[in-house]
Amino acid sequence: MRRTTSLILLALAVFFTALSPLLRWYAFPRLAKIPANQYQDMVLEAKDATLLDYGTMRAKQVPEVTIVQTLKGNVEASDRIEKTAGKDVVVWDGLSYVQGPDGKMVSRIPERYIFDAHSQEPVHATGETVDADPVKREGIEFKWPFLTEKRDYEYFDAQTRTTNPIHYKGTQTFRGVHVYYFEQTIPWTKVPFPKTMPVQGITPESVARTGTTRWYTTVRKFWVEPVTGAPVYGEEIHKEELRGGTLLGGRDRVTAFAGHVKMREDYIEHTVALVKHNRTVVLLLTSYLPWGFLALGLVLLSLSLYLEARGRRPADPAPAQTAEPEPVSA
């Protein structure tokens, strides 16, 4: 009986020890992925910003500019692309909607981002666009890979339609979460006008005929939770200018928008809570379960060897019995 128990424990020890690396190096890369139907939104604000008044074509100070960003998973499009891509694909239909303090639209830029559900690498397919312009992304956008490393990454900028390095700047703690801080600077670059202009009757083509151009620069900052690769907070020091042409009435340039864009407090709290939850799920596959199964395997192996040793130990010899002396008759 003892030997049978020892063999069962040995089999379980081998099973759990082998399961540990399989879970980390085989199961995790296949199970950890972005769901195709994910939906998320975020509200950012720029307090005391500068905004162009298109009525007078002059910049003015405003108390607040609001940016609403939404990302909606397009399951139908991802299923269609997966048939030819041969991998799990996520399609995000995004929208960046900017409005002034009066609630009126300042700009509206849609985009479609197609990427690998596991690695977050871009997948090039028909429909990859920014503001209806076809693009071919390189690098990441919106989200870092699972198990983010302490290094620079290539990050796509939707305004310039270009990819530039975003630099790892160090490790910090944000709202109790261990994060990596990244920063990217986009120098002044000529960028296209949005397809949807804030003034009815004005189009990018009509503005282009005046000779006026649009320029943009930003300093982009992200605090990224490294296990999930999800940003828990982000900021941008954002500036836009209109330059030259007859639209400015002889002026060299005018500020179209300038402000320090930050996440709204309620969205910070929601994002931090969500990332903490998802971090625990990822750690189950990368750390808790693999190390737990390995420790369990070693305990079971030790117990099996102990029982086997007990089973092989020779039995103690029986104590010698002293014969009773026979009675002697007289």
The token pair that represents 220 in the structure block? 């982009």
Provide the domain limits for residue 204.
32-263
Any domain includes 306: no
Q: Give me the residue label for tokens 């907070």.
A: 233
- φ/ψ of 212, rounded to 5, equals -80, 135
Return the C-alpha torsion angle 270, 274, 276, 282, nearest 10: -170
Q: 35: which residues sit within 8 A by CB, 6+ positions away?
A: 73, 90, 117
Any domain includes 111: yes
Task: Indicate the helix (H) or strand (E) that contains 106.
Answer: strand 105-116
How far apart CA 179 and CA 272 sit, in angstroms, is 11
Any domain includes 130: yes
What pLDDT was estimated at residue 330?
42
Alpha helices by DSSP H, listed for the chain, are 2-22, 28-31, 75-85, 204-209, 265-283, 289-312
How many other CB atoms sit within 10 Å of the CB of residue 59?
A: 18
**Half-sphere exposure at residue 73, Cβ-oriented, CA atoms within 13 angstroms:** 15
Any domain includes 220: yes
Entry pTM: 0.88
Beta bridge partners of 58: 53
Number of domains within the chain: 1
Any domain includes 323: no
Any domain includes 285: no
- φ/ψ of 172, rounded to 5, equals -135, 175
How far apart CA 72 and CA 37 sit, in angstroms, is 7
The token pair that represents 125 in the structure block? 């397919």
- φ/ψ of 19, rounded to 5, equals -70, -30
What pLDDT was estimated at residue 2?
63
Q: 44: which residues sit within 8 A by CB, 6+ positions away?
A: 66, 67, 68, 69, 234, 261, 262, 263, 264, 267
Each of the 330 residues of the chain gets a pLDDT tens digit; together they read 667 887 888 888 888 888 888 888 888 888 899 999 999 999 999 999 999 988 888 999 999 999 999 999 999 999 999 999 889 999 999 999 999 998 899 999 999 999 999 999 999 999 999 999 999 999 999 999 999 999 999 999 999 999 999 999 999 999 999 999 999 999 999 999 999 988 888 888 888 889 999 999 999 999 999 999 999 999 999 999 999 988 888 899 999 999 999 999 999 999 999 999 999 999 998 988 889 988 988 898 888 887 777 776 665 555 555 555 555 554
How far apart CA 177 and CA 279 sit, in angstroms, is 10
Any domain includes 59: yes
Any domain includes 118: yes
How far apart CA 114 and CA 93 sit, in angstroms, is 9
**Spatial CA neighbour of 216 closest among 196, 236, 234:** 236
Q: Give me the residue label for tokens 């009986």.
A: 1
The token pair that represents 207 in the structure block? 């503005």
How far apart CA 177 and CA 313 sit, in angstroms, is 54
